[in-house]
Amino acid sequence: MLMSKKNKTLQVSRRSFIGSAASSAFAFNFFPKRVFGANDRIAFAGIGIGGKGSSDIDQAGNLGDVVAICDIDLTRLDAKGGKFAGAKKYKDYRKMLEEMDSQIDAVTISTPDHTHAPAGLMAMGLGKHVYCQKPLTHSIYEARRMGQAARQFKVATQMGNQGTASDGLRRGVEVIRSGAIGAVREVHVWTNRPVWPQAPGITARPQGTPAVPNHVDWYLFLGAAPDRPYHNAYHPFKWRGWWDFGTGAIGDMSCHTANLAFMALNLGHPLSVEALDHGPINDETFPAWATTKTEFGARGAMPPVDYYWYEGKLPGGKKNLPPKDLFYGEKPTNSGSLMIGDKGVLYSPNDYGSSWKLLPGDDFKGYEAPTPWLPRNGKGDQGMKNEWVEAMRGGRPAMSNFDYASQMTESILLGNAALKTSGRIEWDSTRLQAKNMDISDIIQREYRPGWMS
């Protein structure tokens, strides 16, 4: 296994990484171990530089120097190498981090979900600042560990749910926190996903074993995941619908579409998660549709909240949506969220919470939002990198830092655990386990040797 001496500090027991995470993204009390001056050039490396990873490393490069790029697909690697001619190219991120340890300050991670934590934990163990795409991790345990590691190694972090940079989302957080719609007791979030192949069309592994394309390193794609033969049913995009590689619609979109509610209501660790309805479950791919309910307890003066998630299309082709009467006559969009308060409803009709309206409209004519108190960004995805770099330079933590992102990811991925068990999980967040059943194999997956310490 490729592992530096410094990174051996990550070889700790599961128990040592179980404890309370920070309670809020607004607890701006973090200072990185090394602070970069205004004139210091930051050296970036990109792990996964195709698809979303292409823009992630490009935007990081706008703020410093790209010194290394890594991808298991040589076609993507060569294409990005044309832009960053001075960057050293790698297929294996472990080799890159070991060989270039002293030359890299920060990394972007934009790989399939199953590689996020192995790459992120190694990078943080070497003292690198980390920007990781959503969802933060593939498993619940990994989410807890990523948050703990960020604090342990004093690195600046940011999860890539770019709606966080939206002025509209931040204004929505302020409106909810100011009490405009009263105490919020229900949240409903829905998505147009899945938009990739999964159940019911695919419920088993493909039978064929085509040759691995010359430009793909299949062993490195698998990484920590269990071994299986190559097939184009997995790579490059279709991995999202497979349990071993992706996190389904819940993992793909909740970190976007539920972000406004999680941030505004300070939704931390849940009390329970229940699968209310879903399509048939199989061992390989996510179900065709699902509805889950997550219960959060009181948080200070905020009352308990029931959080409902809707995905997919029901039998017969009807979209899975919240009850019609919650929309006050508004037409439901493909993706969005509703926060149901004692005095009204906040309805966001998009994935990112960047736009919203208060319902019923007649009750909020002339409403004026509170005086802004959150910092404004307004620079979209580039702004996410800007705030990450500002944290490296000693500014406030990025708003989707791993304290916040790890808690949200834990809660979100418990929805997938509920689907796998087809039941209700009573959750003990302190011990990171279910109170009413053994789901240890879901909380923490097994890894192939050499891929996770």
385 contact partners, CB below 8 Å, separation of at least 6: 56, 59, 60, 62, 63, 131, 158
418 is written with which tokens?
């509920």
CATH of the domain at 63: 3.40.50.720
Would you say residue 213 lies in a domain?
no
pLDDT given for residue 38 in this prediction: 80
Partners of residue 187 on adjacent β-strands: 307, 339
In one-letter notation, the amino acid at residue 214 is N
Would you say residue 135 lies in a domain?
yes
Structural domain harbouring 38: 14-162+379-401
Would you say residue 144 lies in a domain?
yes
Q: Do residues 113 and 138 touch, judged by C-beta distance below 8 A?
A: yes
Give me the phi and psi of 304, to 5 degrees please.
Answer: -55, 150
pLDDT given for residue 15 in this prediction: 40
pLDDT given for residue 297 in this prediction: 98
pTM reported for the whole predicted model: 0.93
Distances (CA, A) of 133 to 148, 258, 351, 451: 18, 16, 16, 19
Encode pLDDT of 204-247 as tens digits. Answer: 999 999 999 999 999 999 999 999 999 999 998 899 999 999 99
For residue 371, the tally of other CB atoms under 10 A from its CB is 7
Q: Tell how far CA 297 is from the center of its chain.
A: 22
Q: Do residues 150 and 123 touch, judged by C-beta distance below 8 A?
A: no
pLDDT given for residue 435 in this prediction: 98
Residues in the chain: 453
- Cβ-based burial of 441 (10 A; exposed 0-12, middle 13-18, buried ≥19): exposed
Q: Tell how far CA 110 is from the center of its chain.
A: 11
**Mean pLDDT of successive 10-residue stretches along the chain, which has 453 residues:** 34 37 47 78 98 97 98 97 96 98 98 98 98 98 98 97 97 98 98 96 95 97 97 94 98 97 97 98 97 98 98 96 97 97 97 97 95 95 98 96 97 98 96 97 94 82
Q: Do residues 223 and 448 touch, judged by C-beta distance below 8 A?
A: yes
118 is written with which tokens?
């192995």
pLDDT given for residue 21 in this prediction: 38
Structurally, how many domains does the chain consist of? 1
Would you say residue 394 lies in a domain?
yes
Would you say residue 429 lies in a domain?
no
Q: Do residues 309 and 190 touch, judged by C-beta distance below 8 A?
A: yes
Q: For residue 346, give the 3-state DSSP assignment.
A: strand
Task: Return contacts of 234-239, CB within 8 angstroms, 24+ apart.
Answer: 236/50, 236/51, 236/73, 237/51, 237/196, 238/196, 238/197, 239/112
pLDDT given for residue 372 in this prediction: 97
Q: What is the H or E stretch that residue 169 is in?
A: helix 167-177
- CA dist 326 and 341 (Å) reads 11
